[in-house]
Amino acid sequence: MVVPVYNVEPLLAACLDSILAQPVKDLEVVIVDDGSTDGSVATAQRYAQRRRQVRLIVQENGGVSRARNVAVEHCTGDLVTFVDPDDVLPPDAWRPMLRALARTGSDFAVGTMERVDADGTRTQPPLLKRNHARERLGVTIDDVPLMIADVFPCNKIFRMDFWRRQELAFPVDLRYEDQVLSTQAFLGATAFDVLTDVVYAWSMRADQSSATQARGRHENLSDRLDTKQMTVDLVRRHGNPVLWDTLHREALPIDMWEHFRAAVAATTEDPDRYWATLRTGLLAIWNDATVPFEYTAVPAGQRLMGWLVGQDRRDDLARLVAQIDGPGVPVSEGRYLHPWVDQPGVPPVLSSVRTPCA
């Protein structure tokens, strides 16, 4: 199994302890330190010296994709999975997936995940909850098209022969690389197993300010749109119209609201360039030939944001965001949408649905 490491010294020991506590035989842990400048290397070295299961590779900083790809090249087992170094595995996390693979012979197994907030609250994102509501063994992506929204590598165990046969690798020099890798795996699999078990705990740090600021950087937006377009191209070649519709309607739009907000935030770098890239990228993916953004499955407030971007109405988007965030009528009532959806020219799909922005 693979652990990419970069400047996570305070968290790494807990992560590695949770991995080494898993009750599995023949465990191999390949750590790739990606040019850390803190004490991460020293921590990893201690584990590599004391535990025969742990191997450490040190390289110059090249990004998480390169680190993961290098680690996979050094794995010698029949199966591979991934753990991020700021997360802690639940006890016996892998057993459900290992049992399923032994039973079915599928190419990989995928369990569900819990989000663990800084206060210890555990939740499942809505799409994960829907996808993992019941067990489905030996299925394909055409059987369960909504699984295309499961873009996480850490809640999956892959057969190494499948990985190599499909020539899977994380795209380098891009953020949000998980989406492309997972799409390639789902499209290439003869069969995979979907489980109801929680197999991974995804830790959310208390300070999310850096992530919030990053959304306002042009390179962050550009990478997000690039990986979405790469996913669109892969699914187009697959040729299943139901999967194509599911991708555009339910999977791809779920995180766009972050960039709609960033487009009108005071902290956004080079706002004119950001707006132009956002609008061009949105209309390239969501349009009359696919699914217009206002017809996606995200909450109506987000659909209205996307429609305003497509209409090149930046000032109106700023007013909408300010209205959502400001005092007055509770967002849960959804009444803040009324001045917008009742305007002439607003699509009926927005005028008829008055649900709040998530």
The pLDDT value recorded for residue 340 is: 64
Tell me which residue of 106, 107, 109 sits closest to 93, measured CA to CA: 109
- Mean pLDDT computed over 156-165: 98
Residue 208 vs residue 195, higher pLDDT? 195
How much helix, strand and coil, in percent to the nearest 5, is found in the chain?
50, 15, 35
- Read out DSSP for 35-53? S-SSSHHHHHHHHHHH-TT
- Mean pLDDT computed over 68-86: 97
CATH superfamily, with its number, for domain 1-86: Spore Coat Polysaccharide Biosynthesis Protein SpsA; Chain A (3.90.550.10)
The pLDDT value recorded for residue 323 is: 83
Kindly report the average pLDDT of the chain as a whole number. Answer: 91
Phi, psi for residue 92 in degrees, rounded to 5: 55, 40
Residue 158 vs residue 203, higher pLDDT? 158
Q: Answer positive or negative: Cα dihedral of 238, 166, 194, 230.
A: negative
Phi, psi for residue 173 in degrees, rounded to 5: 65, 30
pLDDT category of residue 339 using cuts at 50, 70 and 90: low
Among 132-146, 148-162, 202-216, 230-244, which is the least confidently predicted range? 202-216
- Mean pLDDT computed over 148-162: 97
pLDDT category of residue 217 using cuts at 50, 70 and 90: very high
Residue 356 vs residue 179, higher pLDDT? 179
When mean pLDDT is compared over 106-110, 215-219, 263-267, 345-349, the highest value belongs to 106-110
- Read out DSSP for 328-352? SS-GGG-GGGHHHHTSTTS-HHHHT
For the cut 80, the answer to whether the pLDDT of residue 349 exceeds it is no
Among 53-62, 75-84, 202-211, which is the least confidently predicted range? 202-211
Is 117 in contact with 222 (CB distance < 8 Å)? no
Is 107 in contact with 159 (CB distance < 8 Å)? yes
All structural domains of the chain with their residue ranges: 1-86, 90-206, 209-351
Q: At what angle do helices 300-310 and 314-325 cross, to 10 degrees?
A: 160
- Mean pLDDT computed over 168-177: 93
For the cut 70, the answer to whether the pLDDT of residue 334 exceeds it is no
For the cut 70, the answer to whether the pLDDT of residue 70 exceeds it is yes
The pLDDT value recorded for residue 30 is: 98
pLDDT 10s digits, 42-59: 999 999 999 999 999 999
Q: What angle do CA 176, 125, 10 make, to 5 degrees?
A: 60
d(CA 113, CA 83): 12
For the cut 60, the answer to whether the pLDDT of residue 209 exceeds it is no
pLDDT category of residue 300 using cuts at 50, 70 and 90: confident
The pLDDT value recorded for residue 327 is: 64
For the cut 70, the answer to whether the pLDDT of residue 249 exceeds it is yes
For the cut 50, the answer to whether the pLDDT of residue 197 exceeds it is yes
The pLDDT value recorded for residue 351 is: 59
pLDDT category of residue 203 using cuts at 50, 70 and 90: confident
Residue 51 vs residue 212, higher pLDDT? 51
For the cut 70, the answer to whether the pLDDT of residue 191 exceeds it is yes
- Mean pLDDT computed over 230-243: 97
Query: What pTM was estimated for this model as a whole?
Result: 0.92
Task: Rounding to the nearest 10 degrees, give the CA dihedral for residues 98, 58, 211, 309.
Answer: -80
d(CA 337, CA 334): 6
The pLDDT value recorded for residue 118 is: 79
For the cut 80, the answer to whether the pLDDT of residue 264 exceeds it is yes
The pLDDT value recorded for residue 358 is: 42
